[in-house]
Amino acid sequence: MTGVAQVLSRALAAGEPAVLVTVARALGSTPREAGARMLVGARRIAGTIGGGRLEHEAIAAARRLIETGAARHHMELPLGPAIGQCCGGHVGLRLEQADAGTLVELERIECAERASMTPIHLFGAGHVGKAIVQALAPLPLRLIWIDSRAEEFPDALPDGVTRLIAADPVACVTAAEPGAAFLILTHDHALDFALASAALGRGDALYVGLIGSRTKRHKFERLYVSGGGKPSDLGRLVCPIGAGLTREKRPPVIAAMVAAELLIAVDRAAHRLVPISAGQARAEPACLHHPAGCGTCPDAASGMTMRSAI
């Protein structure tokens, strides 16, 4: 995904003034969280603090800052009838003229944010792989695109996508960091099976997705178990991928569905959701005050346990 820092770097190089708008605090119901930011230039905007009248007011204030040359400004905005929004929360905004120091700090922040994103290891640079990369590139995910065939990659990659030409793709599964997600859609069914087996065998994958039909899944299941894999591992395999729509095989549509599957998997992990059966999930623990879990405090007693269906 393209960060605000990259846009600011281009603006500074072109001598264009810009103001960085940051959500300094967010209380109650607000469209974005503290730390959300956007860059406002005289003609262009990058990033968002939530849209609507809140953003309209911030953009106008930022452009006044550009016109006057003032260094910084602070805004407090209740999201109610006064500005025509009904969120009901309260937002504090910090506006500052962006300079080289701002760029250094933004690069540091965005580097840390990127490092904390879930790594998605996508194997296969065919038509569906290319469509999925385009769908995932704008999302808050760290995408590593892997294939042994250098000629299959496009000349230009979307911002934030890492290309890896690997003679031994299975070794990339073994070397991946804990909690990574694996999307497997190569040109070779035997390689697909080897990759899926390695990903499931790790036991710590956030998501293991294998492209193909239900027939392909059944064949893989037989081979996995006959090869010594645990039958219980197979409940963590997503195959076919992007199957929320039936009889739909166009790559961009599959890509959109796969993006949704991945975001759901990431959200489950962030909220400590663990599978309880096919199509359901459970949040553990059901307590805001005691991360280790608790059965006695008010949160647990009030039924904080979450269930979601896909």
Question: What is the block-wise mean pLDDT of the chain (310 residues), using blocks of 10 residues?
Answer: 86 96 93 94 93 92 95 90 73 96 95 92 96 95 96 92 96 96 96 97 95 93 95 94 78 93 91 46 34 35 28
Collect all residues with Cβ–Cβ distance below 8 Å to 261 and sequence separation of at least 6: 207, 209, 238, 241, 242, 244
How many Å apart are CA 111 and CA 225, to the nearest integer? 41
Question: What is the per-residue pLDDT for 51?
Answer: 86
Question: What is the per-residue pLDDT for 89?
Answer: 87
Question: What is the per-residue pLDDT for 80?
Answer: 74
Pairing of the two strands 280-283 and 18-27:
unpaired
Q: What are phi and psi of 241, to 5 degrees?
A: -85, 155
Bin 247: left if φ > 0, else alpha if -120 < ψ < 50, else beta: left
Question: What is the per-residue pLDDT for 281?
Answer: 37
The SS3 assignment for 105 reads helix
Q: Any idea which residue has 């603090």 for tokens? A: 49
With the CA atoms of 277, 262, 117 and 38 taken in that order, what torsion angle do they form, in degrees rounded to the nearest 10? -130
Question: What is the per-residue pLDDT for 300?
Answer: 33
Distance of CA 168 to the CA centre of its chain: 27
Q: Any idea which residue has 């069914």 for tokens? A: 189
Whole-angstrom CA distances from 10 to 6, 18, 36, 37, 104 are 7, 11, 20, 17, 13
Element (H, E) at 107: helix 100-116
Angle between helices 214-226 and 189-202 (to 10 degrees): 60
Distance of CA 271 to the CA centre of its chain: 14
